[in-house]
Amino acid sequence: MSTLTTSLPGGTWTLGDLEVSRFGYGAMQLAGPGVMGPPLDYEGALAVLREAVTLGITHIDTAEAYGPHITNSLIREALHPYPRTLHVVTKVGADRDDQGGWTPARKPDQLRRAVEENLETLGLDVLDLVNLRMGDAHGTVPGSLAEALETLTELQQQGLIRHLGVSNVLTEQVAEARSIAPIVSVQNMYNLAFRQDDGLIDSLAQDGIAYVPFFPLGGFSPLQSEELSAVAARLGSTPMSVALAWLLQRSENILLIPGTSSVAHLRENVTGAALMLSAEDVAELDTIGG
Which residues are known to be catalytic?
Answer: 66
Query: CB count, 10 Å around CB of 203?
Result: 15
Q: Which of 83, 200, 62, 76 is nearest to 131 (CA)?
A: 62
| Residues in Cβ contact with 7 at an 8 Å cutoff, skipping those fewer than 6 apart | 56
Q: What residues have CB less than 8 Å from 130, skipping those under 6 apart?
A: 89, 90, 91, 92, 115, 118, 152, 161, 163, 164, 165
Phi, psi of 220 (to 5 degrees): -75, -10
E strands, 66-203, are 87-92, 94-96, 102-104, 127-133, 161-167, 183-189
* C-alpha distances out from residue 239 to 164, 278, 282, Å: 33, 15, 13
What is the Cα–Cα distance from 51 to 32, expressed in whole angstroms? 20
Task: List Cα–Cα distances, 54 to 8, 42, 92, 282, in angstroms.
Answer: 11, 19, 28, 31
Query: What does each C-alpha distance from 208 to 183, 253, 277 come to in angstroms?
Result: 10, 7, 24
What is the rounded radius of gyration, in angstroms, for the C-alpha atoms of the chain? Answer: 18
Residue type at 3 in one-letter notation:
T
- Environment class of 282 (CB within 10 Å of its CB; exposed 0-12, middle 13-18, buried 19+): middle
Q: Letter for the amino acid at 12?
A: T
